[in-house]
Chain A
Amino acid sequence: MMEALNAGLALLLLALAVWTIVARDAFAAVAGFIAYGLLLTLAWVQLSGVDVALTEAAIGGGLTGALLIGAVGRLRDTEATARVERPKALTRALAALVAGAVTVALALCVLTLPDPAPTLAPDVAANIAATGVGNPITAVLLAFRAMDTLLEAIVLVFALIGVWSLAPDRAWGGRPGVRHVADPNGILAYIARVLPPIGIIVGMYIFWAGADHPGGKFQGATILAAMWLLVMMAGLTDAPPISRAWLRIGLVAGPLVFIAIGLAGAVTAGAFLAYPDGYAKPLIIVIELALMPTLALILALLLVGAPQRTIQR
């Protein structure tokens, strides 16, 4: 029964992926992509990766879909010309060859993995008591491999700066995106007033549950970012100008706190990002609390885009 379900899910995923690539209309392809993200969530649950399923549901289902929709909206005018300029047959054949070769190589790698596959899970299970958290994913992300998480947070800040760098010179420091307008008594404004409080509670809950159950700061931050974006889309609030001090402080506060704790660990426990005995859980909570607003800000601002409006003096 389970095998039949998994086989059906895999086939559906493949079919949807193929269709998303060959779809002619970009809007239709994005709809297919969102559907693909939702199905991939199910696949992750079947693979027992519930944390990954949470992230896929939040990022793949919601944020990436909205991001692509925004991109499709901007590209609508150029779609006709883009369709006309197809690459030559030789280029397409070479691309197909390379793609096929990479697929075959990946398949071989997966199929020739030693059985049982090499894994560090037993080591994690043996040492998790020292970290004070019950969820092994959180333990790996914030205790055993905290360095990677720190670097990822910094990379996200750089990504945002990269998006901002697309702003025209005159708009630098101004508000990103366009001003959304919606009827203040209409239904869009209604849901933008009703849903965010619920979303904030759920986001904080998922963040807090990440200590011992699937969840964590990243999924919580994604939900918070989505709620802020919803309020912006309904025109109830405007995107902040990127020159605002609170925005810039909020963006770097998370990584800075993380680095500060790491340096403190170098002094008190002998290595960068080492936690002194007994302080692991409180320090992890502090790091997560500091990183979550930063992540929410970054994710929301990545979707809003580069500054487009000149700053009003």
Chain B
Amino acid sequence: MSVALNVLTVVAVVAGAFFFLAGTVGLLRFPDTLTRLHALTKADNLGLGLVVLGLLPHVGSVLAGIKLVAIWLLVLLSGAVASQLIARATRQRDPDA
């Protein structure tokens, strides 16, 4: 049982780290602001989500597990809102971006 959980942790954390890599590469290499925003949200949603999934088997209590999921949901919410606001601000400044 614990071997399976460890395997889940390793797989999930590696996948999450991969999405962070993808998000960072996107942030650096994509041609303009809106596409970079798209890359950034992948790191937010999937990167952090997979890391949280991988860490859930190792928490000490139910409360800690709830906190982990709450952190992910908060980051999702704030990332979504910030992306909207940034995108709108970019549109206003540069209408053909």
Contacts and interface: CB of A to CB of B under 8 A. Distances in A.
B10 interface: no
Interface string A124-168: 000000000000000000000000000000000000000000000
B78 interface: yes
A48 B84 CA distance: 37
Interface string A272-284: 0000000000000
Contacts of B84: 187
Contact of A194 (B70, B77, B85): B77
A188 B78 CA distance: 10
Contacts of B78: 191, 195
B84 to A, nearest CB: 5
Interface string B76-93: 011001001100000000
Contacts of A190: 81
Query: How many B residues touch the partner, as a band?
Result: under 10
B85 A198 contact: no
Contacts of A191: 77-78, 81
Contacts of B77: 191, 194-195
A190 B84 CA distance: 12
Nearest to A190: B81
Contacts of B7: none
A275 to B, nearest CB: 30
A188 B74 contact: no
Interface string A180-200: 000000011011001100100
5 contacts: A188-B85, A191-B81, A195-B77, A195-B78, A198-B70
Top 6 nearest A-B pairs (CB, nearest first) are: A191-B81, A187-B84, A187-B81, A187-B85, A188-B85, A194-B77
Given A194-B77, A198-B70, A198-B74, 11 more contacts: A187-B81, A187-B84, A187-B85, A188-B81, A188-B85, A190-B81, A191-B77, A191-B78, A191-B81, A195-B77, A195-B78
